[in-house]
Amino acid sequence: MMPEYIPKQSMLEDMVTAAQNGDDTVQDYLLKSYKPFIAKCVSEVCKRYINPMLDDEFSIGLIAFYDAVMTYSFERGGSFLSFANLVVKRKVIDYIRYVQKTPVIASLDEHIDEEQLENPAEVIAVKEMHQEKLKSWHLREEIYDFKEQLHGYKLSLAQISKAAPKHKDARQTSIMTAKTLYDDAVMRAYVQQKKKLPIKDLTQKVNVSKKTLERNRKFILAIFIILLDDFTYLKEFLNVPSETNEKCTSD
């Protein structure tokens, strides 16, 4: 019996074509739906169980699968999954060799000639490219999960973007308020259960007016979710400090 995450070949080909034509929804669907397939491919290379949440090799496999989606050519013949399996395994092998200090074959770009990487400067450039690409995909994965968490609070990315404070000081105050909220066990539990801010209790913890808290409620909740789920790359992207001793002040 065919696994649920694998559609019929004709349907899969249509989705790959749509993804190559820039359909972000289909791209996202393929990346999410084929995580078990990717994990299996990576596991066969690493000869061990692969945890998608913890193992860097899975992230490499995810990047490789996306590359396979975007570069697959139906004119070459052969199924997409066979092609994707090959690409994922090749990229993971390259990554393992890279980690083992073999920079000549460390490139994530299978079309780069290995001899071209003998120059130390080029090796560094490939390493930086790899790090940036890996970082961007970690961020994208966190955004997927973040959107799902927001849904539980009846919020969306569009709402958060619109509600974000325009002034730097107001934004920083909201971030610090979310940090205070997260650090207090009682208020943290309240937000997790009620999916809303404990305005009355919060005004006693921070020097921010009730009106300001209500105005920035959506953004504060968004930062709280990021802290709660420890979205590392989102914190870095949004300049959310993990630890700070600053006090919140009203804007």
Residue 38 lies in a domain: yes
The pLDDT value recorded for residue 133 is 65
Domain limit, last residue, from 119, 151, 183:
151
Asked if pLDDT for residue 198 goes beyond 80, the answer is: yes
The pLDDT value recorded for residue 218 is 93
Residue 220 lies in a domain: yes
Same domain, 25 and 66: yes
Asked if pLDDT for residue 232 goes beyond 60, the answer is: yes
Residue 14 lies in a domain: yes
Same domain, 16 and 140: yes
Asked if pLDDT for residue 19 goes beyond 70, the answer is: yes
Question: What are the structure tokens assigned to 11, written together?
Answer: 């349907």
Residue 244 lies in a domain: no
Asked if pLDDT for residue 236 goes beyond 80, the answer is: no
Same domain, 125 and 28: yes
Asked if pLDDT for residue 123 goes beyond 60, the answer is: no
pTM more than 0.75: no
Name the domain count of the chain.
2
Comparing 98-107, 182-191, 212-221, which segment has the lowest mean pLDDT? 98-107
Same domain, 80 and 31: yes
Residue 2 lies in a domain: no
Same domain, 96 and 205: no
Positive/negative CA dihedral, 121, 123, 124, 129: positive
Residue 250 lies in a domain: no
Asked if pLDDT for residue 174 goes beyond 90, the answer is: yes
* % of the chain residues with pLDDT over 70: 74
The pLDDT value recorded for residue 190 is 95
Domain limit, last residue, from 136, 151, 166:
151
Same domain, 160 and 189: yes
**Distances from the Cα of 15 to the Cα of 36, 50, 98, 143, angstroms:** 18, 26, 32, 22
Please give, one letter per residue, the 3-state secondary structure of the chain: CCCCCCCCHHHHHHHHHHHHCCCHHHHHHHHHHCHHHHHHHHHHHHCCCCCCCCCHHHHHHHHHHHHHHHHCCHHHCCCHHHHHHHHHHHHHHHHHHHHCCCHHHCCCCCCCCHHHHCCHHHHHHHHHHHHHHHHHHHHHHHHHHHHHHHHHCCCCHHHHHHHCCCCHHHHHHHHHHHHHHHHCHHHHHHHHHHCCCCHHHHHCCCECCHHHHHHCHHHHHHHHHHHHCCCHHHHHHCCCCCCCCCCCECC
The pLDDT value recorded for residue 38 is 93
Residue 92 lies in a domain: yes
Residue 27 lies in a domain: yes
Which domain does 233 fall in, by range? 155-237
Domain limit, last residue, from 122, 151, 180:
151
Same domain, 127 and 25: yes
